[in-house]
Amino acid sequence: MAFRLLPFQPVLGHVHCSLRGILCASSVEYKQVREFVNNKHRDMKFRNLRRLKVDTKVPLKYMNKYERGVKEGYYQNIRNIKKLWREREIVASASNQVVDEFVPPENLGTAITEEIKKKWSDIGKFGKDKLAIRKIRQFEPEFNLKVFQPDALEIYIKAHECLASNDLDSLGDYVTEHARLTMLLNASKRTIHWKFLQSLESPKVVQVRLFKIDEAGSTFAQLTVRLLTQQMLAVYDRFGRLIYGSEILAKDVLEYAVFEKQLSDEYGTWRLHGKVIPNDRIRMAEHTFVASKEQPQESSAVMTETAPEEDKQAVIAK
């Protein structure tokens, strides 16, 4: 390979040799750019013609399986069309939303005022909750809120244990398809150490809702349960580095978990569907990251400084 130093050449591509000198003379900037000079093609006119001599077709051996099948008419046969378009059944075993999301009280601590106590003790006696529980009893006559409350905590514990031990087969028994996506979103390639220590207060049902997805009549019920528990959580990276939490520290956790069941299904079970997280308590990012251009940050130092400088220059010019 031969290298030669040439002056800056604004035109891209291959230029005729005689033009080079003219272009260099006309260009004002003289930058030193290193360029590859090939000694073979003295006259660039015949470069393309030489290339046409060479044939580089893709042989059939290296074509894709389906590409070749379509080309040879293999997939025109009706029997084999199923391989391309596979039809699958759709089963609505879970909903895609949290209906009429519960608004937790502003008191973030563990203390419960007497007003809130009254509300929770009266659940199932007034309003939407009463109607919903009455409808649930049409499907299950033995349904009782007091019996359900300790069961909800067991489902909650088993769902998180399955996530920590990466037991995805049995996760579906305790978690709906909607919650499965959000749980496994950031859990891949990470080790999670989770331990349930104790429940500080007995779990309480706060809200009961009932709704339909379609007109055929598949009804769903959603219960939001208040859980005040003590837990240990430590999340590790792919390389075994601690990202969040610690192994030693026990934390009091206040959560509003939503449980769901398809009532019209005979074999439906209560499963964890989601959590109600108020916007104030969403955790900020701990790492530095590059903000996207669509969401510009608040007024930075650079923006404020540039404006007065321009004014100064304008004044000096005048």
Partner 1 sequence: MFCLNALSKKLRPEVLFGQTSRNRATLENWAVLVDKENKVSRWRQLNDQVFEPLKKGEERRPAFVCHEKRDIWYSFKKLYIVSCFVRGLSVDDAVNQLNFVPAKGAKIVKDTILEAQEIAVRDHNVEFKSNLWVAESFPEHSYRMMGYRRHARGVMHPIKLGHVHYLVRLEEGPPPKHYYYHSRPRTPQELLDQWFEELRARKISNSL
Binding positions for partner 1, rule: CB under 8 A: 3, 34-36, 53-59, 61-62, 64-65, 68, 72-74, 77, 189-191, 193, 234, 236-243, 287-289
Query: Shortest approach of partner 1 to residue 284 CB, angstroms?
Result: 15
* 221 alpha carbon, distance to own chain's centre: 26
Closest of 178, 144, 179, 143 to residue 159, by C-alpha: 179
Nearer to partner 1, 62 or 267 (CB): 62
Query: Shortest approach of partner 1 to residue 298 CB, angstroms?
Result: 22
∠ CA 139-156-169, rounded to 5°: 90
Nearer to partner 1, 56 or 304 (CB): 56
Nearer to partner 1, 62 or 85 (CB): 62
Nearer to partner 1, 49 or 91 (CB): 49
Query: Shortest approach of partner 1 to residue 41 CB, angstroms?
Result: 16
Q: At 226, give phi and psi (nearest 5°).
A: -90, 125
What are 204's two structure tokens?
């309480």
Give yes or no for a contact between 256 and 225, defined as CB atoms under 8 angstroms apart.
Answer: yes
Query: Shortest approach of partner 1 to residue 302 CB, angstroms?
Result: 20
Query: Shortest approach of partner 1 to residue 182 CB, angstroms?
Result: 18
What's 316's DSSP letter? H
Closest of 234, 210, 206, 240 to residue 222, by C-alpha: 210
What are 154's two structure tokens?
């067991």
Query: Shortest approach of partner 1 to residue 12 CB, angstroms?
Result: 14
- Long-range contact pairs involving 159-167 (C-beta distance under 8 Å, separation at least 24): 159/183, 159/271, 159/272, 160/194, 160/196, 161/194, 161/196, 163/187, 163/192, 163/194, 164/192, 164/193, 164/194
Nearer to partner 1, 190 or 212 (CB): 190
Nearer to partner 1, 124 or 245 (CB): 245
Query: Shortest approach of partner 1 to residue 10 CB, angstroms?
Result: 17
Residue 265 to residues 93, 99, 165, 169, 213, Cα–Cα distance (Å): 8, 19, 29, 21, 13
State the DSSP H helix or E strand holding residue 132, giving kind and residue range, or none if neither: helix 127-139
Nearer to partner 1, 72 or 122 (CB): 72
Closest of 115, 143, 148 to residue 257, by C-alpha: 148
Query: Shortest approach of partner 1 to residue 53 CB, angstroms?
Result: 5
Closest of 129, 303, 307, 299 to residue 224, by C-alpha: 129
What are 272's two structure tokens?
């964890």
Distance CA 136, CA 143 (A): 7
Nearer to partner 1, 56 or 297 (CB): 56
Query: Shortest approach of partner 1 to residue 79 CB, angstroms?
Result: 11
Nearer to partner 1, 2 or 216 (CB): 2
